[in-house]
Structure 1
Amino acid sequence: MENGKFQFFKGVRNCFNMIYLHDKRYLFISMFMAIFQGIVPSISLLVSQNIINNMQTFSKSVKEILVLLIMYLIINIIPSIFQSFYGYYRIKFNKNFEKHIETMMLEKSLTLSLKDFEDDNTYDMINRAQSQKGFNITILSENLISIIRESVSTLSLIVVLSQFQLWLIIVVIVIPVLKSLYSIKLGKEQYDVSVNRTWKERKAWYIDYLLSKGYAYKEIMVFRIGSKLINHYKKLKEDIISQDMNIAKKNFIATLLCTVLDSIVSAGIIGFIIIQGILKKILIGDATTYIQAVQSIKDNVESIFSLFSSVIQDLFYTDLLFKFLDYNCKEDSIEHIKIFEKIGDINKIELINISYKYNHSSEYSLKNINLTLNKNDPIAILGKNGSGKTTLLKILLGFYDDYEGDILINGKNLKDIEKDEYIRKVSCMFQDYIKYEATLKENVAMGDVYKSNLEEKVKSKLKETKLKPSIYEEDGLETILGTWFGKKQLSMGEWQKVAISRTLMKDADMYIFDEPDSSLDSEAGNELLSLYKKTFENKIGIFITHHIQHAKKITNNIVVLENGKLLESGRHDELMDKKGVYFNLFCNCK
């Protein structure tokens, strides 16, 4: 219980701190409005009570009653004016705050490692947090402020009702309290269900994406899997709906029972007040005021507990957001803060006894790799699928740092080097390169957005990769590629040339090309070989390919991987003389 209270107050504090740091005025303005709006209804009720009683008893002149009417009018108009200004201010705050949270989440995403995105549990956490964004925090803060408003209103109404019968208050609030406590329990149950079924919701979203975005249209049509995917989607949705309806059923039964009992109790209380009026123990204005006070107290108490239930539910969800933002954030003491080294140009890279295995795997993907990379001595890496080429590439790029062995950059350990400094000096075309739904200029310029004279350099790189000018002759570099925002879809080979151009935009010390010829025909692939050789001049170069003929034309330094081991390395003729794996690969490619 104590832990639950601690988590509640911690969650509220985190939300308010985030709002306060974004806009200090918002909380103070909202608090003032809550107190103001909480007091006004009771004042309005007392003024109307006074007016009706005076009309009944004729104890005041018409002029005095008119003054009371003007007061009543002012009391009701001013809050409406304030609320209009506050409503506009709140909308503006919510929009900016949501943008602030979304930006924080995007910035946080940049700090995650590749392994985080490859881990199911972490990815689920990211997915759950992204579904919340800043929405739940603003709703939670508004609900808490509403609780303050309703509490102030309830207390002021209790003062009004205490002039009549104080015991009525206890009778009024019993059923709303019981109903609200049960709602809180159901809210916790709904949260647990939502968290546990995240993978189902993600799966349903993915099927929706495949079917509605055209991403997998060709395979869906050819393999006739559309109906199977839809049936799977329906099954997932039915499971989700079934869980929600189970909770909705419980809520329906509880609400129905409480509503009936509440109506009976309310009717009894109102009847009691009316009888007191008939017996002339109270005036008509008093009776009207007390009936309204009883109803308002009942509504306020129900609203307070309903809001409190929502706050608890919102806290469950905002906790997902804070877990994401706090993920892997370690507040190390000054003694334990690691100072990373900076490096100049990358002249030499040494891989010493590098081994690696993925989480939850007992098999090594790389085993005792020893390799030296030098300027002006590019290497070609060959190997079958699953030989470890991609894993080696990820380690070289610093995406994985839980490998065994050492990687030395100019004699310095890669783990001691500032990653951002290192990655600035590396350019890589990935096998699964991105086809940005953006202009041709933006697609290529992504390689180095900090360059000046971007347009001329983009044109230069497109010319080097021999992308057909006819593709963009109508709108030039502003041609929008893809079909999400434009109408120009490229062939896989053309997309690959765009990706190669993007890689060449960056002035790097090391260039890596992972299967740059996988979608190119033999003629187009051969045309670009001289470009790769030129790019590798006075640079560290890595060329990963299945085309052995291309590898031997680019470099004399060839490496062969198989089952995570570096089996062979050397010149083409040396490897052919060994009649090993390389020899067999070469013969099979003829």
Structure 2
Amino acid sequence: MKMWQEQAKGQHGWQSRWQEAISQMRTIRLIGSMIWRSGPLLVVLLFAAMFVQGLIPALQLLASKQIIDHVTVGNGRISMIWAWAYAISMVFMVLLLSVQKWISKILAERSMLAINLLLLDAWEKVPGMKLYDQKKYRNRLEALQDSANWLPAQIIALSASFMTGLVSLISIVVLVGNLSLMLAIVLLLSTIPHALKQNRYAEMDWEYDKSSTEDRRRMNYAREQLLGRRAAKEIRLFGLGPFFLQLYRKKFERLFLRFEHLQKRFVRGSVLTGLLSGGVAGLGYFWIVNQISSGSVSMGDIALYLLAIFQLSKELRETSNDGVNALELWRMGHDFRLFIEAEPDIHQDPNPVKDVYGSPMTIEFNNVVFKYEQDAEANEDEDEDDTDEDEPDFDEDMDDNSYDVYMEDGAGEESEDTEQERPDREYILNGISFTIAPGECVALVGANGSGKTTIVKLLCRFYELTGGFIRMNGRDIRTLDIGELRKRISVVFQDYGKYGLTVRENVAIANVDQQDLKKMDEAVTLAQAQSFIQDLPNAYDTLLGPEWGGEDLSGGQWQRLAIARSMYRDADFIILDEPTASLDVRAEYELFNSFRKLAEGKSVLLISHRFSTVRMASRILVLQDGRIIEEGTHNQLMELGGEYAKMYKIQAEAFEHAGAEKDS
């Protein structure tokens, strides 16, 4: 029984290695085809240059032998011919190095574009939110973003160096083999332990890089807080500099300890295997000296083989190192392939329905159940991080704080990515059923984490339902074309984007295919943004965002632009998720009076913590722990005296108290 288990285990190990080898070949084919498409002629020229360059060291060794032998016998004419051949080879070496460097740079630049396009195209094929919500995907995506700009250049450079060295190695082995085949074989065998050791440490180094991504992200987060603009005011006010410095230092020290341990193992193994290959090369010199004493070789042979053994030993070590380093880079390409070949997280019906839209829309939730996919890697990390129990988890708040999109300083402070907060219950939504009739405005109210924003995400098809179904105009949402569905929905998210573009582009980005200035003016007017836009230096053409030297806006002004963006889109269904959080009560009231004109005849879902806004809805749904516990108009719910009435009275009392204090 035990023998059978060992055999089964061994067979499983071989199967696993075989599958890994197949996976590596698929990666090589993907990256190789990408480089080939970047310039077929350049690839052919690069290989030709590598081949000729690899032959030159052997040619130079042979020329040295011939020069010495013919000088010894007094044949100066032949010696000069070989001397010219040696000199020309030196010129060719310099030229080929320059050509190879030029070709490699061109290919690397083109490949960088190709690999980034592949990455972005793959991202586009994952239409849901999985890449952002789960730690394992965020870590991988960040690693890929970082390496996409340098990986192609490194792969080409190291692969070219390896191929050149391999050609050179083979040609020198042939020369040494002419003297002694056994010597050539022994020299080759002596480098195998070194190559295997290098490969093993390359694997460990790559695993270290992957496993340390999370800590590096935490380090980058701490650094961004200290150097970035987003949190600068609070960091200065609360004296948070030492706190984030300590967080950065703690993560660095943890990474360095692991790195130091890996390097110590690497040094020991490299020294031992290097001694073996160097020792064998030294024995080769003794063997040649013995041959000289016996008079069985010429003076040219002596020079050739002394130099060849030195060159062979050097090429063996350098080629094995280059091969291992190139293999490590190809392993990194493996993550690109996994990402590029990732299955979509949202299922698209093979024959999606596209003709069910029309203003207004009917929305129906029937016993909808939803829970977020478990982040297994995050749980593993938590198990490993027992020493970090006191450390706050900043990962959920990660933000790159820059580039073409940057988020409002306070946006999402009540964010139900607080529902991604993963409350202490298995299901975020548990048996949700309701209907929005054509042209009806329905409001959702409830505490943070009750499931309000998750309903919005499901309507936008950012996630797959766990159970139940959602219908739009009588059709299951899962049968609809995702792109067409999203075109018919307009949303003002509570964590709306602030784009480093012009005012015009910030509004028109909601419908890039439509350039309707009249409609833009209407949307801006309805959002009550026209007054501050006209005060900007170039009005609609003013660049926004301090990151690019543009104008910055207040939170309320940015929010009005987000509302205008939503209004600019020709949508059948409008969702307002805390759309006026940055506005005062009067501005909110005036804005909703304007919004009623735009939303007339359209289906609307409104989410707000302000009951002065909520009461404008024709019907109100009260959520608690993922369930609808109350439903009705404002007056009906107040008469019911339940949860809604309780929340309304608390807020009304707070407003009255604030007003009384202001008057006093």
Q: TM-score, normalised by structure 1?
A: 0.90
1: distance between equivalents of 2:190 and 2:228?
50
Q: Does 1:149 align with 2:193?
A: no
Q: From 359, 370, 388, give the equivalent of 1:356.
A: 370
2: distance between equivalents of 1:121 and 1:353?
31
Q: Please, which moves more after superposition, 73-82 or 84-93?
A: 73-82
2: distance between equivalents of 1:212 and 1:44?
55
2: distance between equivalents of 1:49 and 1:459?
85
Matches within 5 A, 1:362-373: 362-373=425-436
- Judged with a 3 Å threshold, the aligned counterparts in structure 2 of structure 1 residues 260 and 91 are, in CA distance, closer, same or farther, namely same
2: distance between equivalents of 1:259 and 1:358?
52
Q: Does 1:225 align with 2:262?
A: no
Q: Does 1:308 align with 2:371?
A: no
Tell me the CA shift for residue 339 of structure 1: 1.3
Q: From 431, 441, 446, give the equivalent of 1:378.
A: 441
Q: Does 1:81 align with 2:95?
A: yes
Tell me the CA shift for residue 412 of structure 1: 1.0
2: distance between equivalents of 1:158 and 1:188?
29
The code of the aligned residue for 1:382 comes to: V
2: distance between equivalents of 1:7 and 1:422?
36
Q: From 385, 388, 400, give the equivalent of 2:463.
A: 400
2: distance between equivalents of 1:524 and 1:511?
20
The code of the aligned residue for 1:36 comes to: V
Which residue pairs with 1:582 in the alignment?
644
Which residue pairs with 1:234 in the alignment?
249
Which residue pairs with 2:125 in the alignment?
111
The code of the aligned residue for 2:91 comes to: I
Tell me the CA shift for residue 116 of structure 1: 3.9
2: distance between equivalents of 1:384 and 1:263?
72
1: distance between equivalents of 2:507 and 2:432?
34
The code of the aligned residue for 2:564 comes to: S
**Structure 1 residues 358-408: Cα deviation after superposition (integer angstroms, max 9, x where no partner):** 334753322322222233222222222222211111111111222322211
Q: Equivalent residue of 2:490, what SS?
A: strand
Tell me the CA shift for residue 205 of structure 1: 1.8
- Judged with a 3 Å threshold, the aligned counterparts in structure 2 of structure 1 residues 46 and 111 are, in CA distance, closer, same or farther, namely same
Tell me the CA shift for residue 100 of structure 1: 1.3
**Structure 1 residues 461-503: Cα deviation after superposition (integer angstroms, max 9, x where no partner):** 3333223436753233333323211253222111111211111
Tell me the CA shift for residue 45 of structure 1: 2.3
1: distance between equivalents of 2:272 and 2:626?
67
- Does the 8 Å contact 1:177/1:301 carry over to 2? no
- Judged with a 3 Å threshold, the aligned counterparts in structure 2 of structure 1 residues 420 and 42 are, in CA distance, closer, same or farther, namely same
Q: Does 1:189 align with 2:189?
A: no
Which residue pairs with 1:507 in the alignment?
570
Tell me the CA shift for residue 95 of structure 1: 0.8
Q: From 577, 582, 601, give the equivalent of 1:538.
A: 601
Q: Equivalent residue of 2:485, what SS?
A: helix
- Judged with a 3 Å threshold, the aligned counterparts in structure 2 of structure 1 residues 283 and 222 are, in CA distance, closer, same or farther, namely same
Tell me the CA shift for residue 38 of structure 1: 1.9
Q: From 351, 354, 379, give the equivalent of 1:339.
A: 351
Which residue pairs with 2:154 in the alignment?
139
Q: Does 1:570 align with 2:638?
A: no
- Judged with a 3 Å threshold, the aligned counterparts in structure 2 of structure 1 residues 357 and 259 are, in CA distance, closer, same or farther, namely closer
Matches within 5 A, 1:419-458: 419-453=482-516, 457-458=519-520
- Does the 8 Å contact 2:368/2:433 carry over to 1? yes
Q: From 556, 559, 562, give the equivalent of 1:493.
A: 556
1: distance between equivalents of 2:511 and 2:45?
45
- Does the 8 Å contact 1:177/1:302 carry over to 2? no
1: distance between equivalents of 2:349 and 2:69?
74
**Structure 1 residues 2-39: Cα deviation after superposition (integer angstroms, max 9, x where no partner):** 52544443433333233334443444333323322222
Q: Equivalent residue of 1:195, what SS?
A: helix
Q: Equivalent residue of 2:497, what SS?
A: coil
Q: Equivalent residue of 1:245, what SS?
A: helix
- Does the 8 Å contact 2:349/2:481 carry over to 1? no
Q: From 457, 479, 482, give the equivalent of 1:416.
A: 479
Consecutive unaligned residues in structure 1, runs of 5 or more: none
Which residue pairs with 2:399 in the alignment?
none
Consecutive unaligned residues in structure 2, runs of 5 or more: 1-13, 375-421, 653-664
Matches within 5 A, 1:65-76: 65-76=79-90
Tell me the CA shift for residue 417 of structure 1: 0.7
Q: From 1, 14, 18, give the equivalent of 2:30.
A: 14
- Judged with a 3 Å threshold, the aligned counterparts in structure 2 of structure 1 residues 515 and 9 are, in CA distance, closer, same or farther, namely closer
- Does the 8 Å contact 1:157/1:293 carry over to 2? yes
Q: Please, which moves more after superposition, 129-138 or 282-291?
A: 129-138
- Judged with a 3 Å threshold, the aligned counterparts in structure 2 of structure 1 residues 54 and 450 are, in CA distance, closer, same or farther, namely same
2: distance between equivalents of 1:355 and 1:8?
40
Which residue pairs with 2:228 in the alignment?
213
Tell me the CA shift for residue 46 of structure 1: 1.7
- Judged with a 3 Å threshold, the aligned counterparts in structure 2 of structure 1 residues 487 and 422 are, in CA distance, closer, same or farther, namely closer
2: distance between equivalents of 1:264 and 1:579?
91
The code of the aligned residue for 2:47 comes to: M
Tell me the CA shift for residue 161 of structure 1: 2.1
Q: Please, which moves more after superposition, 122-131 or 405-414?
A: 122-131
1: distance between equivalents of 2:607 and 2:582?
14
- Does the 8 Å contact 1:352/1:370 carry over to 2? yes
The code of the aligned residue for 1:501 comes to: A
Tell me the CA shift for residue 324 of structure 1: 1.2
The code of the aligned residue for 2:485 comes to: Y
Which residue pairs with 2:3 in the alignment?
none
Q: From 531, 534, 544, give the equivalent of 1:481.
A: 544
- Does the 8 Å contact 1:8/1:312 carry over to 2? no
**Structure 1 residues 230-282: Cα deviation after superposition (integer angstroms, max 9, x where no partner):** 11211111111111111111222333445555555545544554565577654
Q: Does 1:299 align with 2:314?
A: yes
- Does the 8 Å contact 2:222/2:244 carry over to 1? yes
Q: From 124, 147, 157, give the equivalent of 2:139.
A: 124
Q: Please, which moves more after superposition, 147-156 or 237-246?
A: 147-156
2: distance between equivalents of 1:572 and 1:530?
18
2: distance between equivalents of 1:400 and 1:162?
65
Tell me the CA shift for residue 308 of structure 1: 2.5
What is the CA RMSD across the aligned residues, in angstroms? 2.8
Matches within 5 A, 1:56-67: 56-61=72-77, 64-67=78-81
Q: Does 1:288 align with 2:317?
A: no
Aligned residues: 582
Q: Please, which moves more after superposition, 153-162 or 98-107?
A: 153-162
Which residue pairs with 2:453 in the alignment?
390
- Does the 8 Å contact 2:526/2:595 carry over to 1? no
The code of the aligned residue for 1:341 comes to: V
Which residue pairs with 1:93 in the alignment?
107
2: distance between equivalents of 1:240 and 1:106?
30
Which residue pairs with 1:465 in the alignment?
527
Q: Equivalent residue of 2:262, what SS?
A: helix
1: distance between equivalents of 2:542 and 2:149?
35
- Judged with a 3 Å threshold, the aligned counterparts in structure 2 of structure 1 residues 247 and 536 are, in CA distance, closer, same or farther, namely same
The code of the aligned residue for 2:169 comes to: T
